[in-house]
Amino acid sequence: MTQHDTSTATKEREVSGTSATEHPAVQASSPGQSHVAHVESTAPGSLRVDDLEAYYGSFRAVSPVSMAIEGRKVTAIIGPSGCGKSTFIRCLNRMHETARGAHIRGHIYLDGEDINGPKVDPVVIRRKIGMVFQKPNPFPTMSIYDNVAAGLKINGIKSKERSMDEIVEQALRQAALWDEVKDKLKQAGTALSGGQQQRLCIARALAVEPEVLLMDEPCSALDPIATLAIEDLIRQLAPQVTIVIVTHNMQQASRVSDRTAFFMMNAQRSGELVEYDTTAKVFTNPADKRTDDYVTGRFG
């Protein structure tokens, strides 16, 4: 059973009282209520995961997970390698279904709306829920500027209020890269250092103004200094965008996140959510023995 403090639990009950009338879909799945971690925030960009299972063919990589991810906060996903962290967060923006034989069960709600609803286009979900990957992947044929503009340009999206230059500049500033690249926007994105490339990818994801930004071990290919730069950035971004970050680095999770979810493989080699609570609680006073063992480095 996951842990919660009473104040958020009370809040959750109030919220679900109102949202049930607004979103019938939420109500329909309410029988699963008892599994849901008892946090739900009214901040935009909040996610609720309801009995989510992820499969590759018949292999269940993630066993039923229920958790509420607070809007405009940083949530860290930690756990040993192979426990389904990547699979889990790829479900959150429907990237999971792009793998061969992949499918899910259960529900994910973005601000109360089912992202897997019958009429929902995954392409639209991915515009609202962006993703940054383990290895920086700037588009090699494009300049720094075009990389940042790619999501809008290729989709033919034009803003009435702001010019593309303004959007690109703002995204690069948000990604703390502007000062380093403002004089070479026409240069190839691939000419930057690894850390800069990763920040370029963050800027690229931010330019489409997502509600949520998913990051799958975004620093694992970077050196310690570049890693610290990205961690600073994550803290600065949190008030504007919900962040879910997978990391194998426990210091990183404790430095950047507000809440931490600990996943582990069960006997069927399927990932399970063992504990989900405030980061302080998970790292200093975890409720589950396995969490304690993991965060103190006794295994994993």
Partner 1 sequence: MTSTLVDTSLRYRRRKLFSNIMVGAATAAALGMMAILALILGQVFLEGGRYLNLDFFTQRPQPLGQEGGGMANAIVGSLIVLAIAAVLALPVGFFTGIYLSEYASDRFAGFVRFVVETMAGVPSIVVGIFAYVLIVRQTGTFSAIAGGFALAVIMIPIFARAAEEALATVPFSLREGAMALGIPSWRIVLRIVVPTAGPGIVTAAMLALARAGGETAPLIMTALGNRFWHDGLMDPIATLPVQIWTYATGPYDEWHQQAWAGSLVLVGVTVGIIGFVRLVYRGTQFRQL
Maximum Cα–Cα distance across the chain:
56
Output 99 or 176, the one with its CB closest to ligand ADP. 99
- Residue from 35, 48, 73, 85 binding ligand ADP (CB under 6 A): 85
Tell me if residue 123 falls in helix, strand or coil. Answer: helix
Q: 8 - beta bridge partners?
A: none
Q: Does 86 bind ligand ADP (CB under 6 A)?
A: yes
Minimum CB distance to ligand ADP, residue 108 (Å): 16
Q: How far is the CB of 139 from partner 1 (least distance, A)?
A: 6
Distance (Å, whole) CA 88 – CA 66: 11
The option from Mg ion, partner 1, ligand ADP, none interacting with 82 (CB < 5 to 8 A, set by class) reads ligand ADP
Phi first, then psi: what are they for 75, rounded to 5°? -115, 125
User: Which residue bears the tokens 């890269």?
Assistant: 177
- Which of Mg ion, ligand ADP, partner 1, none does residue 170 bind to, with CB < 5 to 8 Å depending on kind? none
Residue ranges in 111-130 that form contacts with partner 1 under rule CB under 8 A: 123-128, 130
Strand partners, 152: none
N-to-C CA span, the chain? 22
CA distance 137 to 194: 10
User: CA–CA distance from 150 to each of 76, 154, 156, 164 (Å)?
Assistant: 28, 6, 9, 11
Count of CB atoms within 10 A of residue 87's CB?
22
- Candidates 224, 144, 135, 232; CA nearest to 184 is 144
Which of these segments, 65-73, 83-91, 135-143, 160-168, binds ligand ADP (CB under 6 A)?
83-91
Q: How far is the CB of 92 from ligand ADP (least distance, A)?
A: 12
Count the Cβ atoms, other than its own, within 10 Å of residue 144: 28
* Stretch in the footprint of ligand ADP (CB under 6 A) among 6-14, 79-87, 134-142, 290-298: 79-87
Binding test (CB under 6 A) with ligand ADP, winner from 81, 159, 163, 251: 81
| Binding letters toward partner 1, positions 70-109, x by CB under 8 A | -----------------------x-x--x-x---------
Site residues (vs ligand ADP, CB under 6 A): 56, 61, 81-87, 99, 269
Q: Which residues bind partner 1 (CB under 8 A)?
A: 93, 95, 98, 100, 123-128, 130-133, 135, 137-141, 150-151, 154-155, 188, 190, 201, 204-205, 208
